[in-house]
Structure 1
Amino acid sequence: MDPLTGFTRDGCCQDHPLDTGKHTVCVEVTAEFLAFSRSRGNDLSTPRPEWGFGGLKPGDRWCLCAARWIEALTAGNAPKVIMAATHESILEHVSLETLVSFSLDYSRH
């Protein structure tokens, strides 16, 4: 909720039918990921008050586009995932084992 995230800005990483970006992966952003995202043309750290966006800083939790998380994963820059807040539709693209290996809130034990 702070920052207010999700496609509908309700704090939830839902699979909304109007969300073509599929903001379904809840992550805790890092400085490395923010730099990676900026290098790919999606600057998430610069405030954009005209859009009601204060910018992200390391440690913030954010609903990330599934494709961006997968791109970051492939490039070795994937941020950690909050499994309890990530929508299950990501499993259409990434294995549960992969998600668990990046999880902040799920233990295999």
Structure 2
Amino acid sequence: MQATPDKPINVLGGPLAPCSNDPLTGYFRDSYCNTCDTDFGSHTVCCIMTAEFLAYEKYVGNDLSTPRPEFGFSGLKPGDKWCVCAGRFLQAAEEGCAPRVSLEATHLRALEIVPLEMLKRHRAERG
């Protein structure tokens, strides 16, 4: 049985915008921070990577910067957008090293873990 994505609504109540096509991100690797009941990590927050956040992720055991060609993963660099687990975003925000967020590309279900006000404090400039 194949998982079906939840309705693609963002945290602002509008249609979910794509997060990144290059690198291709998302739980479904469809460029969106779509989610479903089998996405236990809740890969729902569209973040713009920073060197600080990538170092933090590596420190806590989730190395996103090292290429893993066996998985078709070239590694992330500052400026890349990526669907981050909501819990990990919350943890980084509480420790003062959260990256900027695209609210339009962050799935509504992120709000089950991260308060909207916290996401808004880390909102990326549009454009």
Corresponding residue SS for 1:67: helix
Is residue 67–residue 74 contact of structure 2 (8 Å, CA) maintained in 1?
yes
Unaligned runs of 5+ in 1: none
Q: Distance in 1 between matches of 2:112 and 2:27?
A: 19
- Structure 1 residue 22 corresponds to structure 2 residue 42: yes
Matches within 5 A, 1:1-109: 1-105=21-125
TM-aligned CA deviation for residue 11 of structure 1 = 0.4
Unaligned runs of 5+ in 2: 1-20
Percent of aligned pairs sharing the same letter: 54
TM-score, scaled relative to structure 2: 0.80
Corresponding residue SS for 2:52: helix
Return the structure number with greater helix share: 1
TM-aligned CA deviation for residue 105 of structure 1 = 4.0
TM-aligned CA deviation for residue 96 of structure 1 = 1.7
Q: Distance in 1 between matches of 2:125 and 2:117?
A: 14
TM-score, scaled relative to structure 1: 0.92
TM-aligned CA deviation for residue 83 of structure 1 = 0.5
Deviations 1:61-98 (A, max 9, x none): 00000111011011111111000100011112222221
Which deviates the most, 93-102 or 21-30? 93-102
Compute the RMSD of aligned alpha carbons. 1.1
Is residue 81–residue 99 contact of structure 1 (8 Å, CA) maintained in 2?
yes
Q: Distance in 2 between matches of 1:102 and 1:42?
A: 21
